Chains A and B, each alone.
Chain A
Amino acid sequence: MFDIQFENVCVTFGETEALKNINLHLEGGKIYGLIGRNGAGKTTLLSLLASYREPDSGKITVNGQKPFENPEIMPEITFIYEKDYSDESEKVKGLLDAAERYRPRFDRKYAEELLTRFGIPLDKPAKSLSKGKKAALNVTLGLANRTEVTIFDEAYLGMDAPTREIFYRALMEDYTDHPRTFILSTHLVSEMDYLFEEVVILHKGQILLKEPVEELLEQARAVTGTREKVNEFISDMKVLETQELGGVKRAVMYGKLSEEKMKKAEQLELEFETISLQDLFIHLTSEANPDA
């Protein structure tokens, strides 16, 4: 298993700081969700990991080594993004041949099985496939590479809902049979959140948080009750959003609740609800949130 470490990593494009002092440790063998709003720096972060570029300052190590132009590391990292196959006259079969040559662990049989599940013929040129089929071919190569680190950056773009479902299932099955590190960067948080063990939220070029999803969601909840009672309860809590309807108030909070606080909630007759990762993400990265 390959550990990934970012230390004080910065990337600047002209005047824009795309990544500001990133410190991040990703333990090998887990499925990470990387989420962030448009322009948060997700693809920049991932392209560093895939050695498409070097950081302007700071250090990245994969399995203890610098990945950039490193022949021991690079074949073990797969970066799948929305790829343009419009000039690819090579047949699907030929692309499998190429992957087999370059990727030490490429599983040809598995790739062909997956292509069947996606309904992609081997003897067609890649450029003649529909947009959704191209994306499916792309994720097939990503899964069948079986590399230590596999990155899917919005790799589902163009796939319809049933095709995405095949992808999620295949990902989960293959992860169970061959545990390794996956990084899933996505906008479809609500659709994919159950796949994530840990989530990394990137916001404005910085790491907002990195936590196991379950622990994160345990700390997020909405509380509803009469306005005065809710106000009393949330006075010492980190509040992400409030809504009022008549005399009823609902507040989304983030933070651990002490036992004392739980008792208080019972006394005040407040109701709790859990919050989805998608909602929490929206609240944490909203412009209205002063800490965001």
Chain B
Amino acid sequence: MKRKLDDSKPLFLQIKDRIEDQIVNRQLKEHEQIPSTTQLVNFYKVNHLTVAKGVNLLVEEGIVYKKRGVGMFVAEGAREKLLKQRRERFVDEYVVPLVEEAGKLGISDEEIFQLIKEIKGSEKDV
């Protein structure tokens, strides 16, 4: 788990992303308790107001739910919901820039496919 946050986007969104990653990677399962605000503050060295802002967004989006006096828990179906969101974003965040950049560099579709195959092949070797 990466501890260092960067300044590429607001910290509260990065906190939200990190928790989402843990849900997507199955490190946090449905109805499991997510780390408390204090734990997140101490781990990421980010102010508790910032942490709360990120976590509250997860509550609003129905990814986690609150049990009063106990803490926050992963909602049922949270992972599927996140995967769906990410698939939708995949096109905008990865495919569109890839195609645009390839166009600028004059890389053909054939070459793109070839590169993807090569990368996937080398991953298998690892």
Please tell me which one of the listed residues B44, B48, B49 contacts residue A176 in the complex, with CB atoms under 8 A apart: B48
| A173 interface residue per 8 A CB criterion | yes
Neighbour of A274 across the interface among B7, B44, B49, CB < 8 A: B7
Instruction: Assess the A169–B42 pair: CB atoms within 8 A.
Output: yes
Indicate whether A196 sits within 8 Å of B48 (C-beta atoms), given known contacts A169-B42, A172-B42, A273-B7.
no
Q: Total contacts A to B, CB within 8 angstroms?
A: 30
Asked whether any CB of chain B lies closer than 8 Å to the CB of A213, the reply is yes
In the complex, the chain A residue whose C-beta lies closest to that of B49 is A197
Q: Report Cα–Cα, A195/B44, bound state, in Å.
A: 11
Chain A's interface size range is 10 to 19
Chain A contact surface mostly = helix
Cα distance A234–B122 in the bound complex, in angstroms: 48
Q: Which of A172, A212, A214 contacts B38 (CB under 8 A)?
A: A172
* Inter-subunit contact A194/B38 (CB<8 Å): no
Contact of A194 among B7, B36, B37, B47 (CB under 8 A): B47
Shortest A95–chain B CB gap in Å is 27
Q: Say how far A186's CB is from chain B's closest CB, in angstroms.
A: 15
Which residues of the other chain, B, contact A168 by a CB distance below 8 angstroms? 42
Interface string of B39-69 (1 = CB under 8 A from A): 0011011111110000000000000000000
- Enumerate 8 A-B pairs (CB-CB under 8 Å) in ascending A order: A172-B38, A172-B41, A176-B36, A176-B38, A176-B48, A194-B41, A195-B47, A196-B47
> Hey, which bits of chain B sit against chain A, CB under 8 A?
7, 36-38, 41-42, 44-50
Q: Which 8 A-B pairs have the closest CB atoms?
A: A274-B7, A194-B45, A176-B38, A169-B42, A194-B47, A173-B38, A172-B38, A172-B41
